[in-house]
A and B are shown apart, each in its own frame.
Chain A
Amino acid sequence: MDLRDSYKNATRSIAGARMRSFLTMLGIIIGIAAVILLMAVGEGSKRDILGQIQGSGSGNLYLTPGAQSSILSGRNSTTRDIGAKITMDDLKAIEARVTYPIVVSPANTIGITVKRGSTTMVGSGIFGTETYFEVNNLTIESGRPIVASDVSNRTRNVVIGANVRTTLFPDVSPIGQLIRINGMSFKVVGVTASKGQSLFGNSDNAVILPLTVGEKSFGMQHDRISLTTIKSVNPNDSGAIVNQIASILERKHGKVDFSILDQKALTSLFSSTLSIFTALLAALGGLSLVVGGIGIMNIMLVSVSERTREIGIRKALGARERDILAQFLIESSLLSGIGGIIGVVFSVLVANLVIQRFLPTYVTTSSVLLAVGFSIAVGIFFGVYPARKAARLRPVEALRYE
C-alpha cells in the first residue's frame, strides 16, 4: 500500500470520528502547550535574571561570608560556615592592599516596616555606606545620598526609594520629613530614582540607612557584612582583583570561608541553575505529553477493536502485516502530529498574548522542535502496541468478528 493511500485512509478515519479525534488530540495539545509554555516561562525568567545581572553593573564583584555562594540562598552564611564572617577590618585590608582601583560597598539588608502618619508599608532596609549609590548605579532624584559623615556619626538620616516616596509622600516633598522605621524616628534626606527589580531586590521599595545605624538601633553587628559589592573601576581588572582579594582574605582568616563571585561567574552560576529549572519544567510538561500519548494508545486500541472486521477484509484482499501496521501507525502519528501543531500555535499565542503580561516568557525554536518531535514520537510509541495488535489478527478471526 503506498503512502498516499495510507495517508488518505488515516485522514478519512480521523475525520470520520471528529469528536473522538479532537478529544484524543486535546491530550497532545495540552501536553505540547505545557512543554512549550513551561519552557517559555523558564527561558523568560532566565533571560530576565541574566539581564538583571548584566544590568547590575559590569565589573562588580560580590563578596559573601561562607565558602559557598550564599547569594543564591539569600542568607548571610551557609549552615556549614555558621561562624564565617566578613568584617570592616577585612574590607579595610582589601581597600589597602588591592593594587587596582576599586570601590568597596558593604551592605546588610533586613525587612522593615516604614510608617508615616497612618500610612504603613513593608520594605527592605539596606544598611550601607556612601559608596552604595555609585556601586549599584543608583541615582538621586531629589535631596542628597548617604554621605561619609552619616556613617561615621551614626546619624538617623535615610534615603528612600521611589515607591516608598509615592506611598508615604503622595503630595508633599519628603526631604527633611520624619518617618518611623520599626518604630524609630528617621529623617529623609534624599530619594532615589526608580530602577525597578534588580538581582538583589527592588531598590524602589527600599530605605537606605547608614551602615553604623544598624548596630546602634537594630541590634545588628555592623562587623558582619553579609554582602559586599566591590566595583572594579576598570572592568577588565576584575579577574586579577578576585585573585588578590582571595589571597588577602585567605591569609587573614587562615582558611577559605568566603565566596567571591564576579559577573561572569554569577552569570554562569545562574545560567546553569536556571537551565536545570527550565529542564525540570520541560520534564513536567513532558509528563502531561506522556499522558496524552496514553490517551492516543487508548483510542487506537478502541479503534482497532472497532475495526477488526475491516482489518479482516483488508487481509482477505491481500493486506500484509506491515500494511496494517503502517495504516494504524500513520493514523496515530497523524493524530499526535496534528495535535502537536495545534498545540504549538496555541501555546505561542498564549505565551505572547496572555502570559507575557504577568511573567517574562520567551518561546525558543528548540522548545518548539522538541515538543513537536516528542509528540510525533509519542504518537508512534503509543501507536505501536495497538497497530501490532491489529497487524497480527488472524484473517479468519477478524472476519468472524461482529
Chain B
Amino acid sequence: MELIQLTDLRKIYTIGGVTIEALAGVSLDIGAQEFVAIMGPSGSGKSTLMHILGCLDSPTSGRYMFKGRDVSSLRSDELAAVRNQDMGFVFQAYNLLSQMSALENVMLPLSYATKPVRDGRRKAEGLLEHVGLKDRMKNRPVEMSGGEQQRVAIARSLMMDPSIILADEPTGNLNSKGAREVIDILKALHKEGKTIIYVTHDDNIGAQAERVIRIRDGLVVADEGD
C-alpha cells in the first residue's frame, strides 16, 4: 500500500473576486521510504501541494488517502492530530519559537501529543546531538546561525517519529555550507528509512533526491525516478 495516494486533487482560491486554481487535478502516489523533491517555478502550486500533503490545508476537491485513510475531509482537530503524529515539518524560515531554547523548541510537539511519549526530554537531547548541536541545547534561536536553526527544526520534526518529513524550501534561506549540511542530514535520515518530501526551485538541491516531481500551473508535468 502506498503511503500517499492523491486522486485528481484540486485547490481553488478566491482572492478579491479573482479565482486562482493552484492545483488543477493532481494525481500521484508516494510510497514509504521514498526521497522526493517537488520542483517548479514560483506560483506553480508546489507549496499548495506541500501544505495539503502536510494536512495544513484541505483540497477543494479530489481525494487524499494517507496511510489508507481519507484525510481530505477531516475536521481541524483530527487534522491537528495527524500533523502531530505523522508529519514532521521543516520550513524555509525555520519557524522556531524565539522565546524558547533549542531544546524547548524540539520538545514543543510533546505539548500537543495525543499519545504519551516516554523520556521526551532525553529523546529531544538525543535528536539535537544527532544533528550536531549537543553544545547548543540551551541557546535560543537568535543566538544561532541559520544552518544551526534549521538543524534544530529538523530535530523538532523528528520528535514524534513521523511517517514523513515535509520540507518546504529547507535550504532557501541558507548559504551553501548550511544548505549542504541540511541536505546531508536529510540524506542520512532517508538512509535510516525515513520518507522525505521536499519542495525546492533549485535544480542542484532537487537533484539530490531519488525522485523529482515537476509542477507547473497546478499540474504534474514530469515525474522522474532515478
Residues in A lying within 8 Å of B, measured CB to CB: 1-2, 5, 12-13, 16, 309-310, 312-323, 394-396, 399
Contact = CB atoms under 8 A, between A and B. Distances in A.
Given A318-B81, A395-B56, A399-B91, A313 B99 contact: no
A317 B84 contact: yes
Interface in B82-111: 83-85, 87, 89, 91, 95-97, 99, 108-109, 111
A323 B112 contact: yes
A149 B222 CA distance: 126
B145 to A, nearest CB: 20
B56 A321 contact: no
B77 interface: yes
B77 A316 contact: no
Nearest to B112: A318
A316 B99 contact: no
Nearest to B89: A316
Contacts of A316: 54, 56, 83, 87, 89, 95
Given A316-B89, A320-B77, A394-B57, A399 B83 contact: no
A396 B99 contact: no
A321 B76 contact: yes
B80 A315 contact: yes
Contacts of B114: 318
B109 A318 contact: yes
A318 B97 contact: no
A313 B112 CA distance: 12
27 contacts: A2-B111, A5-B111, A12-B99, A13-B99, A309-B95, A310-B97, A312-B95, A314-B112, A317-B84, A317-B108, A318-B80, A318-B81, A318-B83, A318-B85, A318-B109, A319-B112, A320-B76, A320-B77, A320-B80, A320-B81, A321-B76, A321-B77, A323-B111, A396-B56, A396-B57, A399-B91, A399-B95
Nearest to A15: B99
A82 B96 CA distance: 81
Interface string B45-82: 00000010010110000000000000000001100110
A318 B84 contact: yes
Given A319-B111, A399-B91, 15 more contacts: A16-B99, A309-B95, A314-B112, A315-B56, A317-B108, A317-B111, A317-B112, A318-B113, A320-B76, A320-B77, A320-B112, A321-B76, A323-B112, A396-B51, A399-B95
A144 to B, nearest CB: 83
A269 to B, nearest CB: 59
B108 to A, nearest CB: 6
Contacts of A399: 56, 91, 95
Interface centre among A16, A322, A394, by most B CB within 10 Å? A394
A320 B84 CA distance: 10
A315 B57 CA distance: 11
Contacts of A317: 83-84, 89, 108-109, 111-112, 156
A365 to B, nearest CB: 38
Contacts of A310: 97
B95 A313 contact: yes
Contact of A1 (B51, B56, B91, B112): B112
A396 B168 CA distance: 12
A219 B172 CA distance: 101
A117 to B, nearest CB: 78
A315 B84 CA distance: 9
Nearest to A315: B80
Contacts of B113: 318
A1 B57 contact: no
Contacts of A321: 76-77, 80
A2 B54 CA distance: 25
Contacts of A1: 111-112
Nearest to B84: A318
| Interchain residue pairs A-B with the least CB separation, the first 3 | A318-B84, A318-B112, A1-B111
Contacts of A12: 99
Contacts of B80: 315, 318-321
Nearest to B157: A317
Nearest to B91: A399
Given A321-B76, A396-B56, A314 B95 contact: no
Contacts of B83: 315-318, 395
Nearest to A322: B77
Contacts of A312: 95
A59 to B, nearest CB: 71
Contacts of A396: 51, 56-57
A314 B83 CA distance: 10
A246 B97 CA distance: 81
Contacts of A13: 99
Contacts of B85: 318
A5 B109 CA distance: 12
Contacts of A2: 111
B138 to A, nearest CB: 15
B107 to A, nearest CB: 10
Nearest to B159: A317
A395 B113 CA distance: 17
B100 to A, nearest CB: 8
Interface in B145-200: 156, 160
A317 B95 CA distance: 11
Interface centre among A309, A318, A321, by most B CB within 10 Å? A318
Nearest to A313: B95
Interface in B107-156: 108-109, 111-114, 156
